[in-house]
Amino acid sequence: MDIKIDDLKILFTEDEIQNKIKDIASKLNEFYKGEEVYAICVLKGAVMFAVDLVKHLDMPLKMEFIRLSSYGTAFSTSGKVNAVDISLPDLNDKNVLIIEDIIDTGLTAKFLMDFMHCNFKTKSTKFCSLLDKKVCRKTEIEPDYFGFEIDEKFVVGYGLDYEGYYRNLRYIGYVEAK
């Protein structure tokens, strides 16, 4: 199935996304209380969310970027997480905030949390996702912070893509099953 821009239905508008980001940032500001944070953005999908989120965080912050993949060019996860680039500084005794675009099966989130726990003794490790697709969960993992819960939809926009396209949309859209 090909996705065409005219086939997209809006799931979350730009304003809804930005308001939700401010709400998440407020909760994070309350949790961290001005302590230094290492924000780790999972590329490529979370970049828009991460950039907008950190603009509202009121603490000393360093940004890191890692690249993982479990979709490739498919509509659903392959079930295998590929660590494309996961080089990080020493995060021992640091507050770590992992920023992801969507958590669905939970395989990527579990991989990342396991990686953090096996390689570092952080002060805190929190997982933040813009979208939470609980209906697809295959692991016992939940985000500490999330924006919107969604059902079984293939979504694009605001960083989320289909074969590399549609990341630049200011909203999150979906295609209805035919």
**pTM for this model (two decimals):** 0.90
What value does the mean pLDDT take over residues 123-150?
94
Q: In whole angstroms, what is the distance from residue 98 CA to residue 109 CA?
A: 9
Q: Where does the pLDDT of residue 35 fall: very low under 50, low under 70, confident under 90, or very high at 90 and above? A: very high
Q: Per the structure block, which two tokens stand in for 71?
A: 């979709």
Q: In whole angstroms, what is the distance from residue 44 CA to residue 147 CA?
A: 18
Asked which of 21-30, 67-76, 119-128 is least confident by mean pLDDT, the reply is 67-76
| Residue 174 predicted with pLDDT over 70 | yes
Catalytic residues: 104
Tell me 106's DSSP state: S
Q: Where does the pLDDT of residue 99 fall: very low under 50, low under 70, confident under 90, or very high at 90 and above? A: very high
Q: Per the structure block, which two tokens stand in for 107?
A: 């395989």
Tell me 124's DSSP state: E
CA 30 vs. chain centroid, Å, equals 20
Radius of gyration of the chain (CA): 16
CATH topology of domain 13-150: Rossmann fold (3.40.50)
From first CA to last CA, the distance across the chain in angstroms is: 10
Q: In whole angstroms, what is the distance from residue 77 CA to residue 52 CA?
A: 26
Domain boundaries, the chain: 13-150
**69 vs 155, residue with greater confidence:** 155
Scan for tokens 């603009």, then name that residue. 55
| Cβ atoms of 128 and 147 closer than 8 Å | no
Report pLDDT for 42: 94
| Residue 158 predicted with pLDDT over 70 | yes
Report pLDDT for 70: 61
